[in-house]
Structure 1
Amino acid sequence: MNYKSTRNSKNIVTPSQAILQGLATDGGLYVPESFPSFDLNWEILSQYTYQEMAHFILKPFLSDFSDEQLKRCIELAYDNKFDTEVIAPVVDIDVKHYHLELFHGSTIAFKDMALSILPHLMKTSAEINNNYNDILILTATSGDTGKAAMAGFSDVPGTKIIVFYPKGGVSSIQEQQMLTQTGDNTHVVSIVGNFDDAQTEVKNLFNDSVLRDELQSSDSQFSSANSMNIGRLVPQIVYYFYAYAQLVKQGKIDAGSEIDFSVPTGNFGNILAGYYAKRSGLPIGKLLCASNDNKVLYDFFQDGEYNRQRDFILTISPSMDILVSSNLERLVYHAVNEDSERLSDLMEQLDTKGHYTLTDEEQAHFSIFLSDYVTEAQTKEEINIVYRKTGYIMDTHTAVASRAWRNLNQEGLSTNPAVIVSTASPYKFPEAVLVALGVEAETLTDQELLDKLNELSNIPYPPAIEGLLEAERLHDTTIEVSDMREFVRSIAK
């Protein structure tokens, strides 16, 4: 399998080359030339460990990796960094209602699922291509990618990583996780602006030919740890298959029957992985695209117009506070029958006019998707309702997906057994969760917040939280978006 750019279908690279580049040199995103057809024998697959499922799914997507290389990457990624041998357990919430917990890794967010393996995929990709360049990883984060990426790449030889995040746009725990990150090659910088500002400038830097040539002259190159990199995206396909296998093993569903997934969605990478799982044969009925008050994706699925010209709203689910969803480009590329010229024209409209609209024929491609948006009040209400009914506490992003599924289920639109994709531990957003549960949390310190959440949930402190608040802050830089380029140049020297 090879990968081609959304902006130029003749720009074709191998899997390892796509991972090393991160973004295509023409400004596009790499997509698979085709999708594999798996022999889905669920009697066998239901007995697979997460590591075995990862090898089964990733093998055709990473076709220039040898079996030995791929297995080594998987073994190094999915080890005791996770607090459960299951890695990504599916838990019962109610009848035909389950949560896929993706927060058992070292930074208690779903980004660990892919960012635990990306450094090993990138290192192996360099070996495959006899590439001895130093790799400078640029990443914009809305809260979780940054910490998970830095944790994965910390002190990895031949790499440097710079993470940009919006000042005031992440939770205090998320910020503390990033600012205390160790590693001589890690750099985290807050910017005056929002996530979209950071992500747009990161893309501009990738596409800056002068800067790229400067790096090349010093035997360096850019790559990305965002889900724009297929090395981030493809490993996320694994847990959709693994969730299905667990439900078969537990006798919750019959092999071959359809299930729905509800996904809290911001940059569209997580739900796109579900779409790619569907294209690869997984029996998914519907993918529920759950938005918060920044409902640009909800509006898009309603009428086919993507319009980023709206107010940016800071919410209690900050990792979803995004108005320019980068990975949607991949889905739109498939919707326009992989017509690069049409796709490029739409992206140009988005850049220059702030919006674009698909034709009715192109919109018909989205029949697998349902969408809903959930207000901040509804998010809090959902946390409270589920806790009072079941004793289960979820974070503010998972609650958006849970409420969206509940709404669509009541409307008769999502009737299959449903898996809520649970993207973060409630310990990541303790104040918002406690307020939702009726606790007067506004005056509590971070430690008091964590202690109170521990008392109510009976969930042990994750290793990621132990000692976090006492850890020394090692990074303390805030810059304007216009200064990001010079900061990157200073680190690249």
Structure 2
Amino acid sequence: MDYISTRGKVGAIGFIDAVLMGLADDGGLLVPKTIPQLSADTLAQWRQLSYPELALELFSLYIGNEIPRADLQKLVDDSYATFRSPDVTPVRRVDDNLEILELFHGPTFAFKDIALQFLGNLYSYISRRENAVIHILGATSGDTGASAIEGVRGKEGIRICILHPHGKVSKVQELQMTTVDDANVLNLSVDGNFDDCQRIIKELFADVAFKQQYHLRAINSINIARVLAQTVYYFYAYFQLENRGQASGTVNFSVPTGNFGDIFAGFLAKRMGLPIGKLMLATNENNILERFVREGVYEPGEFHMTYSPSMDIQVASNFERYLYYLYGEDAATVAMLMDAFKRDGKIAVPADKLQQVQKDFAAYGVQNDECLATIGEVQDEYGYLLDPHTACGVAAARKLAAPGDVTVALATAHPAKFGEAIELLQIEQKFPPQIEALFDKPQRQTLVGGTNDAVKAELLKFF
């Protein structure tokens, strides 16, 4: 499988080169040159596979012979052996029309583990195979950082630096990152918000000479391996429902969305042939993506801190991948649109494109009060505790699903990671022992200004 840039100035490269490049050298994002098309027979054959077996088949489509199948199987098996559930991503029924896809059974209790356990092992494999040091650089709105660090901490040949917005992640998210004492881990607490962290990362990766000199590699969802890993659980969730007799046709997915990577994985799964009905894009008060789906205008607005901080994002880094497919894989047009966005801070699509957007997605922005109310209602009615991000997905599903639809809401984190919001509802929860233990550990983090130069200076010391 070859990979190309959404902006058209990176020639076809292989999977490993695409993983190592992260952000395309022309500033775009890497996508597969062709999307594999799955027949009904293939889907039927995959229906009884375990999660690791299904992941192996899907990854093989996108990796080809670059990684021997036995090596790839070991990478997959090692990655998902760390999960607390034998199903890796079990589906729990809440009521007749709503299912919860639990994506929080990994080491850091967040959906990011599903991709980052694999990507961490993949980077370690590449480092050993090529006898090269890998420097991983990433930004987090909360969960990516902890999952990425957990995926590579202590691994030979790898150093990782994670930027997070100072004071704008939950306490548990902060502790999961900053209580790690491995020498190959650096946490930078940035004076700013997540969009500032993400901008710094993208601009440092856009400095191709710096990127190549220090072997910088991406851990954020700008890395295509992240998106590919996340397609697996859409297939697995559908097959779980099908095996229970609950999926006779299409299934909707409601996705808490900040950086557009998770819902883009669903879009990719649908393009491959999975019978997905509506892809419901759930945002919070930072609702740039909801406004795009409703109005066709992509423009950052006023930043809001919410009870769902991992979604407190205005500029979604994966949005460019969707634009590429919206405009018929026309890289020149995408490059023009992204240049205009950088210049004017806005993208507006014409009416015919907006019609397509509204075929691809439904969207709903959940206000803070509605988020908390949904947590309380689901707890009272079903005895099931949602984290605030999952609550946004459930609220969107209730708003957007038609009567009789089967809808799966993605549960992106364990509620223990967001105790501050849960406490507002006077709901008591027992923390898992792995999270409880964090509060007694010392923290290691460096506060830096929100500029490229400030971050680069810390990186140079670390490297």
The answer for the alignment partner of 1:35 in structure 2 is: 35
- The alignment status of 1:305 with 2:297, answered yes or no, reads yes
From 330, 335, 355, the equivalent of 2:321 is 330
**Distance between the aligned counterparts of 1:438 and 1:125, measured in 2?**
48
Residue-pair matches, total:
458
Q: Distance in 2 between matches of 1:392 and 1:40?
A: 35
CA distance 1:155–1:53, change in 2 (3 Å): same
The answer for the alignment partner of 2:87 in structure 1 is: 86
- For 2:147, the aligned partner's letter is A
Check the 8 A contact 1:16/1:126 in 2, yes or no: no
Does the 8 Å CA contact 2:186/2:445 hold for their aligned counterparts?
A: no
Q: Does 1:274 align with 2:276?
A: no
Match of 1:389, SS state, is: helix
Contact 2:99/2:408, CA 8 A, preserved across alignment: yes
Moved more, 68-77 or 265-274: 68-77
Q: Contact 1:335/1:363 (CA < 8 Å) preserved in 2?
A: no
2:450 to 472, 481, 484: 481
- Give the CA RMSD over aligned residues: 1.6
User: 2-side partners of 1:125 and 1:363: how far apart?
Assistant: 41
Give the Å deviation of 1:124.
3.5
**SS in structure 1 of the partner of residue 429 of structure 2:** helix
Q: In the alignment, which residue of structure 2 is the partner of 1:51?
A: 52
- Name the amino acid aligned to 1:430: G
Q: Whole-Å Cα distance in 2 between the matches of residues 92 and 438 of structure 1?
A: 25
Contact kept in structure 1, 2:10 and 2:24, CA below 8 Å: no
Q: 5+ unaligned residues in a row in structure 2: which ranges? A: none
Matching of residue 418 in structure 1 with residue 396 in structure 2: no
Within the alignment, does 1:434 sit opposite 2:434 as a pair?
no
In structure 1, the partner of 2:107 is: 106
* Distance apart, 1:40 and its partner CA: 4.1
Secondary structure of the residue aligned to 1:286 is strand
> Which is worse superposed, 382-391 or 56-65?
56-65
- Residue 466 of structure 1: CA displacement? 4.0
> Following TM superposition, by how much is the alpha carbon of 1:33 offset from its aligned partner in structure 2, in angstroms?
0.8
Deviation, 1:125, is 4.1
How many Å apart are 1:84 and its aligned residue? 1.2
Alignment partners' CA distance in 2, 1:463 and 1:152: 20
Aligned residues with identical type, % of pairs = 37
Segment of structure 1 superposing worse, 361-370 or 388-397: 361-370
User: How far off is 1:11 after superposition?
Assistant: 2.3
TM-score (norm 1): 0.90
CA gap 1:415/1:337 in 2 versus in 1, 3 angstroms? farther
Q: Does 1:490 align with 2:461?
A: yes
Q: Equivalents in 2 of 1:488, 1:10: separation in Å?
A: 27
State the secondary structure of the residue aligned to 2:440: coil
Letter in 1 for 2:458: F
Compute the TM-score of the two structures, normalised by the length of structure 2. 0.96
Give the corresponding residue for 1:458: none
Contact kept? 2:97, 2:404, Cα under 8 Å: no
- SS in structure 2 opposite 1:486? helix
Q: CA deviation at 1:271?
A: 0.3
- Structure 1 residue 453 and structure 2 residue 417: aligned? no
Shift of 1:39: 3.8
What are the Cα deviations for residues 278-326 of structure 1, in whole angstroms up to 9, with x where unaligned?
A: 0111000110000100000000011111001x21101010000000000
Alpha-carbon distance in 2 for matches of 1:40, 1:75: 26
| Alpha-carbon separation, structure 2, partners of 1:36 and 1:227 | 20
Superposed, which structure 2 residues align to 1:64-463 within 5 Å?
64-79=66-81, 81-125=82-126, 131-213=130-212, 215=213, 220-254=214-248, 257-308=249-300, 310-366=301-357, 367-409=359-401, 412=402, 416-435=405-424, 437-439=425-427, 452-454=428-430, 461-463=431-433
Rounded to whole Å, the distance in 2 between the matches of 1:180 and 1:477 is 12
- The code of the aligned residue for 2:215 comes to Q
Secondary structure in 2 matching 1:104: coil
Residue of structure 1 in register with 2:5 after alignment: 5
Q: Distance in 1 between matches of 2:45 and 2:24?
A: 38
